[in-house]
Structure 1
Amino acid sequence: MAPLALPIAAIRVAVRRALADLTESGPVLVACSGGADSLALAAITAFVASRMGRAAGLVTVDHGLQPGSAERAEAVADWARQSGLAPVEVVRVEVAGRPGGPEAAARQARYQALVEVAGRHRAAAVLTGHTRDDQAETVLLALARGAGPRGLAGMPAYRELAGMPLLRPLLETGREQTRAACAALGLTPWEDPHNIDPVYARSRVRADVLPALVGALGPAVVDNLARTARLVAADNAVLDGLAVEALTAARHPDGGLAVKALADLAPALRSRVLRAWAHEAGASPAALSHRHVAALDTLVTDWRGQGAAYLPGGLRVRRHRDRLLPTGPPPPRPTTR
């Protein structure tokens, strides 16, 4: 028997660890575009899941953004069925008209589709093929945007979307390993032209910025950036736990927040409390920015009788004596003729 290729062995271990903690008995669904990362993940998940007594299926999302995308999605689905993956679905999504840039809109459409398919099949989890390289790119993009700790924490290995577990088993696996695994398995991955299109910020980071850093500082840069995300994520978990306690302590029966309780908090903790409270009030997490939270903070720390702070969705927050109070969107102005 030929020895098992090291990249395949490493990915098997990563997938096994990711699946070990799942408590639901349904299938796991791999989100697969046909690229090296998700293709290797799908093939190896089929092997590992079957030996753990669990079904493994595949979902491929056709964003309709490139010529031939429908045919390519069907080809991925045909490969999956031949490889023993089940259930297998192709989902076409509409990207146009969604908020944010093209990358954000496509991502939102994709995850919405994945959650819907997973719900129909009562899946235990959805798996995506994000790698250590993807994580490093995410950290660099967050730095460029001036993101805080939440952005620098990158992508979590586990999160829930509308109650559905989303697993990223390959965050400690390099992109070169997924390519080597595909080669060892005799798989030919699809090369997405969007990955090298300079129109997209992530593509520029992938093609120019990260290679320049590796050239200047050595190959350990990729792992160091990914490790930074893990360390910051661990700190975030502690701060988020403290913020939950602080938010509970600051609540007022009328739905507002006690200013005194907020003012006594450290700034890093207060900003988390205000962000979480704004989410509860109905502000979209994707649209709520640093400047919105800063406006709320000003009502606490530098209030001079100014008016309300405005949040996404037409929400307003005003200070009334010793409390912050949320109100709905302002009434429409009367039309003049």
Structure 2
Amino acid sequence: MHDEAPTTLPPLAAGRHWLAGEVDHQLRDRCAVAGGPIVLGVSGGADSMALLLALAALRHRHRDAGDRLEPVAVHVHHHLRDREADEDAIFVERLGEQLDIPTRIEDIRPTPAAGGLAHAAREARYATLARVAGELRARAVAVAHHADDQLETMIMMLARGAGPRGLAGMAWRRPLAAGVTLVRPLLWATRADCEAYCEACGVSWRNDSSNDRSQRGRLRESVTGPLASMWPSAATRAAVASEALEAAAWAMERVLEQTFGPASRRVWPRDALLDLPPGLVGAGLRRAATDADPAVTRTLGHRQVNAVVTAIRAQDQVPRCFHWPRNMHVEVDTRAVELHTA
């Protein structure tokens, strides 16, 4: 790891490289960011360095006054890795100064909570980015998740038994806080693309040693690394598959609306569900339960939902009652299926 400074501010290569054009296009297209203040989450890794370089270059491109990007780099210091984390903060602040990008170092000290320390750190980090965006009246926070991150996310969601929406992985944009949207303009670029861009600009990056011990780090070593050796374009193809799954989720939600009605509905004619695919019936029941109590998603298992689906499709049509978590139960009789909540 080395810390050379760029020779021009920003380096000429930053604006000429294809990745700058990719970020520009995706910010306006998939992310719907036209211009104005935009907060960048910058950890110091190659991906966030690439995003910072691209935004520094795009800021200098000719744009109408109302369409000019005004990036502000924000490094969230979690105080979890002692000296290494201190050096990350210094590195990001220094490069921000060299690129003439306003840079803020925000200190947080997350403590373990439900979901573990990593989850608490992530929640605190996003809350900090949202707060800074509010202070700056920025309507978007950009982070540097890329295609390799997307592949890892999709594999993790597959292992958790997610439906189409979850299998689609991370969205290009999602609400982060009131009036603030989280955007990911690098989802079609790979980790290697980000590193090559930094190298082309003569800019180095930091490596977080704790990543190797994280869940994603272990997944990278044991799964996605070997996968890439067999299918080198796996990450970029996963990014394309993500869009197809997002479209499938969109279509499925509309079919559910047509067949099950609004999510707040709790009773349905049994005959109307008999000819539907079992997966669709299960999704409709889970949708209603989640609407009644979002916390049920953590404990409502596939076997519990599938037992109700099987009863609905049974030829004997014997009335049955199934108890679900969170004091819910589902009654299936000859005419109707009804979800009862506490």
Partners of 1:31 and 1:59 within 8 A in 2: yes
Partner of 2:123: 108
Residue 233 (structure 2) pairs with residue 220 (structure 1) = yes
Task: State the partner residue of 1:204.
Answer: 218
* Backbone CA RMSD of aligned residues: 3.3
1:1-337 equivalence runs, <5 A: 5=13, 9-21=17-29, 22=32, 26-51=36-61, 52=63, 53-68=68-83, 69-70=85-86, 72-86=88-102, 88-97=104-113, 99-163=114-178, 164-197=180-213, 200-215=214-229, 217-248=230-261, 251-252=264-265, 256-258=266-268, 260=270, 265-284=276-295, 288-289=297-298, 291-292=300-301, 295-296=304-305, 298-299=307-308, 302=311, 304-306=319-321, 308-311=323-326, 316-319=328-331, 322=336, 323-327=338-342
Q: Report which structure shows greater RCO (CA 8 Å, sep ≥6).
A: 2
The answer as to whether partners of 2:89 and 2:105 remain within 8 angstroms in 1 is no
Deviations, residues 278-312 of structure 1 (Å, cap 9, x unaligned): 3332324xx7148446535645653754353114x
2:71 partner letter: A
Counterpart code for 2:289:
A
Report how far residue 56 of structure 1 moved.
Answer: 1.0
Counterpart-to-counterpart distance in 2, 1:114 and 1:244: 35
Distance 1:174 1:155 in 2: 14
* 1:5 shift after superposition: 4.6
How far, CA to CA, are the matches of 2:263 and 2:223 in structure 1? 44
Q: Gapped runs of 5+ residues in structure 1?
A: 328-337
Question: Whole-Å Cα distance in 1 between the matches of residues 124 and 280 of structure 2?
Answer: 32
Q: Residues 277, 136 of structure 1: CA spacing in aligned structure 2 closer, same or farther, 3 A cutoff?
A: same
Amino acid at match of 1:238: A
Contact 2:112 2:120 (C-alpha < 8 Å) held by counterparts: yes
Q: 3-state DSSP class of the match of 2:325?
A: strand
Give 1:144 deviation, angstroms: 3.8
Structure 2, unaligned runs of 5 or more: 1-7, 313-318
The 3 A distance-change label for structure 1 pair 250 and 108 is: closer
Take 2:193 and 2:15, find their aligned partners in 1: how far apart are those partners?
A: 5
Change (3 A) 1:29 1:104: same
Answer yes or no: is the 8 Å Cα contact 2:14–2:201 preserved in 1: no
Paired residue for 1:334? none
* 1:27 counterpart SS class: strand
| Closer, same or farther: CA 270–77 of 1 in aligned 2, 3 Å | farther
C-alpha displacement of 1:23 = 6.0
Q: What is the percent sequence identity of the aligned residues?
A: 31
Deviation at 1:4, TM superposition (A): 6.1
What is the rounded CA distance, in whole Å, between the counterparts of 1:225 and 1:67 in structure 2? Answer: 36
> How many pairs were matched up?
314
In 2, Cα distance between equivalents of 1:172 and 1:119: 28
